[in-house]
Chains A and B, each alone.
Chain A
């Protein structure tokens, strides 16, 4: 490719991608800066007057600081679920890769089933009510763990395969039991895949809308994705506040994206190369 042609193609790509991918984000920002009346027009124009701070304060104060409750709930849900997903997923993936037994086939089958099968919603609600976990944070955490386990186990199993068995053997010779072998020798070596699992699963759980909608209703249990309901009603939507809310809940994924882009891509493309 000649240099001129290369720059021409790249230039048009940058232009096109900016229109297609950046316009919606710019739109969110513009809407969040406008006052209520101007935002209701939903036009792609610069605000005539800027209301960033007013909108921010109003969004946070709405319905008795519901957004703060939601952020707190989402953080608790995300951190706890992801911690469990890492530890339990790594334990299962480790044994699954290292020790073929009569269970291996069954476990592999469940891993695939968990990836493919959509959950049965109402029976899950019935179960949660039966064990007094409906509308509770710990019930929701278990749900997120159950739904995310397959993907974690898959990633961990693949990565354990790259750790030489000689390391295990040396540790066993030195008298390490299963706990020490796993937590002191293997788990530290899994660091790259641990960070992948953390990043991918936290984005997924933080952005989860459907499962909290079903299993965690109620104002005190609200999570960030459900706060978007606050400013939306059929006749009377405060678009400036709605988009300020979208802007605020987009910041955590943006931060993660800026710092961990590589881990995310690594996790999501695992398996794409060798099928």
Chain B
């Protein structure tokens, strides 16, 4: 940005009639500021208070120290991280496998692409309720099927050891279609000549994948990582519709802690959780995308 003094003041009339008027930002800017930015900035203050929505008593960092001391609150932070990393990692691996497979010469390719993508568009809560029924420990379809194969399935959502991962699996089921279409777009953008040349040199299809597809689909990988991390870290509706944070607090994530504290009337504590979530997401996504973009330039 240049210094403001250097540009002469633009008269009001030109400001109104310029072909690309700056006030075109105004309606969008006002809505964005009032309904998004302002509450975000206000949250920094309210997280330091005991708050009834009508009056706020300043209590310093008490809400934060409570958040980090209480195991059931802090577990939300840990679970958000696990959930974000697990779903993001699985979406990268599965999305890339599906992307490679669905760009190869197979029959019914369009049908398969549609089937994989459709869950992305379906109501998350509906998916959550459906899988809660399918994952029932004894009556559910999944464990009944496993039993036919002679395997005793875990108590997916009621066993504290598996509950969070089970929800993460459903998240991957619902979201992998998005990762797949991103990979399909990325792989289709790779010039076909590279594959032809490598074929003449006698490269195997694995070598082609490792030396051509993988490095050249890197922008797609970055997009998938960033998008699914943002989504995974703030995930709420799927977890809420499947476990409500249970059993106990084992599947609570920050977003569900925020909701529970809000319902309980601890508005200051809820807002402190919200600030923790904002900082967590920003602290992970901003350096990560800067790092990934830098790698991009070096290529």
Binding site for B on A (CB under 8 A): 1, 6-7, 9-11, 13-14, 17-18, 20-24, 27-28, 31, 41-44, 84, 88-89, 91-92, 94-96, 98-99, 101-103, 105, 107, 110, 113-127, 129, 142-143, 145-147, 149, 153, 168, 172, 177-178, 181-182, 203, 207, 209-210, 213-214, 224-225, 228, 232, 239, 242-243, 246, 249-250, 253-254, 256-257, 261, 264-265, 268-269, 271-275
Q: Tell me if B286 and A21 are in contact (CB < 8 A).
A: no
Interface size class of B (residues with CB under 8 A): 35 or more
Q: Tell me if A118 and B278 are in contact (CB < 8 A).
A: yes
Interface check B198, CB cutoff 8 A: no
Q: Tell me if B22 and A265 are in contact (CB < 8 A).
A: no
- State which of B85-93, B106-114, B149-157, B160-168 sits at the interface with chain A: B106-114
- Provide the residues of chain A in CB contact with B271, threshold 8 Å: 120-123
Binding site for A on B (CB under 8 A): 1-2, 4, 7, 17-22, 24-25, 27-29, 31-32, 34-40, 42-43, 46, 51, 53, 101, 105-108, 111-112, 114-127, 129-131, 133-134, 136, 139-141, 144, 173, 178, 181-186, 189, 218-220, 222-223, 230, 233-234, 236-237, 241, 255, 258-259, 262, 267, 270-271, 274-275, 277-278, 281-282, 285-286, 293, 296
Interface contacts beyond A118-B233, A123-B40, A265-B185: sample of 7 additional A-B pairs, CB < 8 Å, sorted by A? A24-B134, A122-B51, A123-B271, A126-B39, A214-B259, A214-B262, A264-B121
CB-contact partner of A121 in B124, B127, B258, under 8 A? B258
Task: Summarize B's interface: helix, strand, loop or mixed.
Answer: helix
Alpha-carbon distance A115/B117, docked complex (angstroms): 22
Alpha-carbon distance A120/B276, docked complex (angstroms): 10
CB-contact partner of A124 in B39, B120, B181, B281, under 8 A? B39
Q: Tell me if A149 and B31 are in contact (CB < 8 A).
A: yes
Q: Tell me if A27 and B134 are in contact (CB < 8 A).
A: yes
Task: Summarize A's interface: helix, strand, loop or mixed.
Answer: helix
CB-contact partner of B106 in A6, A96, A129, under 8 A? A6
Chain B's closest residue to A229 (CB) is B125
Given contacts A95-B20, A182-B24, A246-B130, contact A273 B106 (CB under 8 A): no
